[in-house]
């Protein structure tokens, strides 16, 4: 009597199949990761564009004056994040999808009730544009006076270590890109980062393209794009 042959994988066949799958995964994973990072970059830049629309609405209602950072204002209701939220109605827009930190504040609750090391947002404001900025006596809080609004950065992305703060001081960088890199999440999106300019447009750029000398400086309202103009 013939023994009925059971059709099954041999151990060798199984190992070959497993190794082929592993090899395919190894080849595909980096591509998939890159595709995901690319998608997150697009979402972040689209969120920033929505912030830009909110900003335009605010500017129209406030004689072209920009919302302030917390630098010279003690009332949290006057902080730019609080102000723009009113126009966005979605505080999620203040969190970059590539920002993996979890300790964000809940802007619907008072700040004083939340842990001191909370992250206010994935984004920070350029304090040189504050209405009480001593360097320019607040002159550039009005977009009308900014040399080239399309070349002046208002909001940038901050590193994950940036807690309890909503602004940066580009005047302290001293033309040193290394210092700038410590305050900007310059590599959050595939060695680039998103920036919102004072004319309301958003751009994905390498930090070197925003702060190169001689060349472009998109951080100083009186100098952009040529700089330095201050000394
Ligand atoms: Zn400050
Ligand atoms: Zn982002």
Residue 18 falls within a domain, yes or no? Answer: no
Cα of 70 vs centre of ligand 1, distance in Å, is: 7
155 DSSP assignment: E
Question: Could you give the 3-state DSSP secondary structure of residue 51?
Answer: helix
Residue 6 falls within a domain, yes or no? Answer: no
Nearest ligand, CA of residue 135?
Answer: 1
pLDDT band of residue 107 (cuts 50, 70, 90) is confident
Over the stretch 137-189, which tens digit does the pLDDT of each residue have? 999 999 999 988 999 999 999 999 999 889 999 999 988 999 999 999 999 99
Q: Are the C-beta atoms of residues 96 and 120 closer than 8 Å to each other?
A: no
Over the stretch 20-64, which tens digit does the pLDDT of each residue have? 999 999 999 999 999 999 999 999 999 999 999 999 999 999 999
Residue 116 falls within a domain, yes or no? Answer: no
Whether pTM exceeds 0.85: yes
Residue 159 falls within a domain, yes or no? Answer: yes
Domain range for 89 is 40-99+121-231
Considering its fold, how many domains does the chain have in total? 1
Nearest ligand, CA of residue 127?
Answer: 1
């Amino acid at each position: 009597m013939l023994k009925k042959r059971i059709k099954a994988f041999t151990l060798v066949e199984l190992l070959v199949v497993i190794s082929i799958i592993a090899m395919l995964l190894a080849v595909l994973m980096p591509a998939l990761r890159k595709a995901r990072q690319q998608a997150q970059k697009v979402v972040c830049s689209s969120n920033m564009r929505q912030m830009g629309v909110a900003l335009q609405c605010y500017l129209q209602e406030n004689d072209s004056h920009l919302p302030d950072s917390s630098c010279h204002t003690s009332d949290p209701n006057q902080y730019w994040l609080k102000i723009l939220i009113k126009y966005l109605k979605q505080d999620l827009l203040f969190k970059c999808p590539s920002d993996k930190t979890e300790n964000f504040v809940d802007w619907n609750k008072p700040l004083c009730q939340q842990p001191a090391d909370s992250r206010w947002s994935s984004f920070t404001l350029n304090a040189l544009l504050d209405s009480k900025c001593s360097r320019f006596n607040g002159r550039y809080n009005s977009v009308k006076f900014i040399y080239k609004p399309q070349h002046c950065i208002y909001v940038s992305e901050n590193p994950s270590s940036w807690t309890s703060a909503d602004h940066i001081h580009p005047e302290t960088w001293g033309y040193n890109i290394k210092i700038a890199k410590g305050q900007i999440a310059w590599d959050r999106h595939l060695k680039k980062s998103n920036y919102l300019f004072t004319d309301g447009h958003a751009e994905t750029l390498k930090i070197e393209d925003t702060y190169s000398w001689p060349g472009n400086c998109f951080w100083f309202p009186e100098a952009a794009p040529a700089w330095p103009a201050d000394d």
